Amino acid sequence: MRITRFVATASLAACTHAPAATTTAAASPPAARDTMVTVPGGRIFVRAYGTGDAPAIVAIHGGPGGTSCRMTPLAALARDGRRVILYDQLGSGRSERPTDTTLWRLPRFVQEIDSIRAALGLRKVVVAGFSWGGTVALEYALERPRHGVRAVVLGSPLLSTPRWQADADTLVMGLPPAVRRAIAVADSTGDYDTPAFAAAMDSFAVRHGARTRAAPAPECATVTSNRTIYRHMWGPSEFRSTGTLRTYDREPRLGELRVPVLLLGGEFDEARPPTLARFRRQIPGAELVVIPGAAHALLRDAPDRVTAAIADFLARRVR
């Protein structure tokens, strides 16, 4: 299959094809250098690949409360003088785990990138966020427009909670009747800890979360996420936000972006391609790559396609 790229300008929308996956992801990544970086609230785990002065890719994992250990395919982009930075956000993965819930605020997660850049001396960056990481990447680009951000990559991003929930409603309507009933019961009772709802989540996940059964990742063997942060910021249900992100909406500000932007999504993504196309139309000069056969976990379903699309975008748009 091929990756379809949609490129929008002020006056036209062109449809072309991105190159097929190359050996980008297949090549052995450079050696990693690990460090702990002090951020507001504690210390976080940071892994850096590569050397050089080209704009470094700061990759931001999903969640909230997820980890970066499955983002290692992006390390293959550490070439031609470009560094790739992976990190676990405070509270999850290999980072410290404070229990102060006042730390779980979007502006504080944005400040983590400032701390990483200061510690590693990153003058120019490409912020690349996936899922909730896209929220952080967008916020960083909006709040730090003149701080060396050369481009933004938004993979299956949460950019608007109202749009995300509308997409979830659409996808739930395509589930089997018994699954829809279990979700409706949980929504009406507020009890999301039942076996029926867990089974419904599994049914949704195999369709729209990850369509590839991933082999165990050795680097993830002892790395755990933090469900407490997820529940605090999003809520107990994937389909309905009741946490601090329930009113989050940056769609009205997308037109403020003035750097190259690449949107990535899967054919079966929770972040539905029509919604990503809607976002793309609002961002000057933005590009959209929809990967056939993939769902929300892009780096699990199509790591080579993802890295090839990003490499192509960087080669054409970022200096």
From the candidates 88, 269, 301, 312, give the one annotated as an active-site residue. 269
Is 208 tagged catalytic?
A: no
**129, 154 contact by CB (below 8 A):** yes
- Look at the chain and count its residues: 319
- CA 314/CA 250 separation, integer angstroms: 24
Is 131 tagged catalytic?
A: yes
From the candidates 225, 296, 301, 312, give the one annotated as an active-site residue. 296
Retrieve residue 248's tokens: 């989050």
From the candidates 68, 92, 131, 225, give the one annotated as an active-site residue. 131
- CA 73/CA 206 separation, integer angstroms: 21
Retrieve residue 151's tokens: 């481009």
Is 17 tagged catalytic?
A: no
The single residue listed with the structure tokens 């790559």 is 289
Retrieve residue 312's tokens: 């192509």
Neighbouring C-beta atoms of residue 75, cutoff 10 Å:
25
Active centre residues (catalytic):
131, 269, 296
